[in-house]
Structure 1
Amino acid sequence: MARTQKQIGLRRKDSKFWVEDGLLFTKGHRIFVPKAAGLRKMLLQECHDTLWAGHPGWQRTLCLLKRSYYWPQMKDDVMEYTKTCLICQQDKGEKQKAGNCQQPYCLPPVADTYGGRTKKAHEYVKEWNVNAEIARAYLEKASRRMKKWADQNRRPREFKVGDMVMVKLNKEQMRFLRGRDKRLVRKYEGPIQVIKRIGEVAYKLDRPAWMKCHPVFHVSCLKPYHPDPEDPTRNKSKRANIRSNQLLATSAD
């Protein structure tokens, strides 16, 4: 049965919003969600955190929401929510290569000293110096060409003492697992605090006791941690760390 004018409310063909069954609708027959009573946060959780949603990226989360709901700056809210999801920060890698740009290769200048050598030795060393200068110039030029290509998919990244980061463990750093199933290992662990900068491209972290590896990590193994300032509960992991998983697996054996 067709709905009456009273049921669908006073709607004009050119209207962007209309009332239907006590709800405010907009284009695409989507419900307008007001910024009240945490409704938007509840919908974000439903379309991202639940088992059926499976923690998708912001594009997929936005697509799920846009099917039935609308509110202003929805895209910005979705991007912020997914960026501050601790599970996503632990389980997902970065699309763009992280870490500082490649350092150019440079040879030291050749010293033009010959001491008390004979004339023949002097000429030989002079010729060697000329060849070394040519080689050095060639290598520096080649290094700049290679650097240009190597840095295309990289972006410079720096951290300060006190920053919280997510750290990616390589195979050598996970030897303490003693051959346990690596599927228990998340891509990133953290958040962990930076306590010192080591040189240009490494940082010392205040790693937890269960992370039995050297505390200094190359910047390419780190990424910024993004907390949720409005909801502190989302900043605490409810999952066991690697060491706890290992102990559970050992006790099961």
Structure 2
Amino acid sequence: MKRIHAFVLAATMSGGVALAANAGDGLTLSAPDRSTIWVEGDVASIRWQSGGDGALCIGLGMGGKDLGLLNDCDTPAGEGRFDWTIPEGRFTDFGIDGTRDARVMLFRADGHGDAVLSAPFTVVARRPPATTSHADAIRRFYALLGSEPRAAHALLSPFRLTLETAGGAKLSYPPRPDFLTWQESGYGDIARVEIQAIEDVSQQMHWAREPEPMLGIRRFSVSLAETHRDGTTMRRDYFIDVAGGYLAGEADPAPSYRILSIGTGP
């Protein structure tokens, strides 16, 4: 493991390596390369050519940090390929939405020859679930909360949003916390949620005359029953603000809705 870390750190400090590094003993890494984009949850393919036999160790790094081995140093060099399902959050649990500095390392299990290091490539989080309206974002969030918490977490806005009126009044929405912090705040204890009532109360609030509705932000009153993993059920009443917009960079953009805040007071 120390050897893997040393190669990642050296490559980062030196400003990068060739697109396909060659260990000098016939071991060449062909994928991933600089154009590769991995998506968490998908199956990634690591490919190489080898002039020798024996077993290979396959390691992973990000930004100079060692993220460990992907195998048990038992993959035959002659196979030329290793498929790995990227765990959700393997990169984005660190409070980021992705990285452009992921690297794969190969070296022979018997210690002979040099390690081979890929060029830096990109890893991104899986796209959040599709939503069709402000209220649908809330329903999807609670439907996914117990069974697919990462998908639910992705429906929370990742941005800090601060609004200010001409009179100087301000309203600020913080960005979502990273997944592990969010889970530890209590959401990880929830097994399932039943929404008992949901009502758009935007026009009932004093801020209906403020900028929020103009920017596609709407407020909902939500009553629900939370069943926790220990079997207890609690009734909750929340006010939830949701923003609507469009995903940038899409050839045919579809509406996208994100939860800005969940609170107990209006």
TM-score by length of 1: 0.30
Structure with bigger gyration radius: 1
Higher helix proportion, which one? 1
Greater relative contact order structure (CA < 8 Å, 6+ sep)? 1
TM-score by length of 2: 0.29
